[in-house]
Amino acid sequence: MRFLLSLVLMAPSLAFAAGSGGDADAPTTTKTTKDCKGVKVWDEAKNRCVKPKNSSLDTDGLYQAVRELAYAGRYLDAQGVLQAMPDQSDDRVLTYWGFTHRRLGNLELAHAFYQDAIDRNPDNILARSYMGQGLVEQGRVDEAVAQWREIAARGGKGSWAETSLREALRTGQTQNY
């Protein structure tokens, strides 16, 4: 395993997030983070901040609000929006439950959410990357390397998920989103 870790650390760093598409790109800043306080989202149809359950946002709109709030470091607000998501078993929802809990320091709970997301969708490379980054934070490098290998094996080589985990393995520093 030490040999594999050496290969990971020697690999050249790739550019992060910018231009890599999907969940890797920083979310667009909207009125949700500019104007809304607490667990509220901007509702274009109502032209005001509302509680997520009272919004006209569909599942994807709520998911984007979660990402935006999490990216802004508003983890508890993001969790409030996650609570309003209609399908709590959706692997994207589970991934962001894990992410917000990890950023709040609840590493074991985060790991459980990531594992649930991966159990539901083994190809969820974002959950694998975030889980691996949490494992790096805990000093569980061998397990993080195993997630890095799974990301590559599942077609994620060169993706933000793979690159960010590889960089975390190399530096010990993890990503905020």
pLDDT at 18 over 50: no
- Give domain status of residue 70, yes or no: yes
- Give domain status of residue 123, yes or no: yes
Average pLDDT over residues 111-117: 98
Count the Cβ atoms, other than its own, within 10 Å of residue 28: 11
**Contact, 93 vs 82, CB < 8 A?**
yes
Place of tokens 């990890």: 102
**Contact, 63 vs 85, CB < 8 A?**
yes
pLDDT at 1 over 90: no
Phi, psi (5° rounding) for residue 114?
A: -60, -45
Average pLDDT over residues 101-119: 97
- Give domain status of residue 25, yes or no: yes
Q: Domain of 84: which CATH number?
A: 1.25.40.10
Q: Which spans in the chain are helix H?
A: 2-10, 31-34, 59-71, 75-84, 91-103, 107-120, 125-137, 141-151, 160-171
Q: Which residue has the higher pLDDT, 176 or 149?
A: 149
SS3 115: helix
Question: How large is the angle between the packed helices 75-84 and 59-71, nearest 10 degrees?
Answer: 170
Average pLDDT over residues 33-58: 96
- Give domain status of residue 63, yes or no: yes
- Give domain status of residue 14, yes or no: yes
**Contact, 64 vs 54, CB < 8 A?**
no
Collect all residues with Cβ–Cβ distance below 8 Å to 55 and sequence separation of at least 6.
41, 43, 46, 61, 62, 84
Domain count, the chain: 1
- Give domain status of residue 176, yes or no: no
- Give domain status of residue 177, yes or no: no
Dihedral angle at the C-alpha atoms of 144, 149, 150, 156, nearest 10 degrees? 110
pLDDT at 175 over 80: no
- Domain housing 64: 2-171
Place of tokens 């901007």: 42
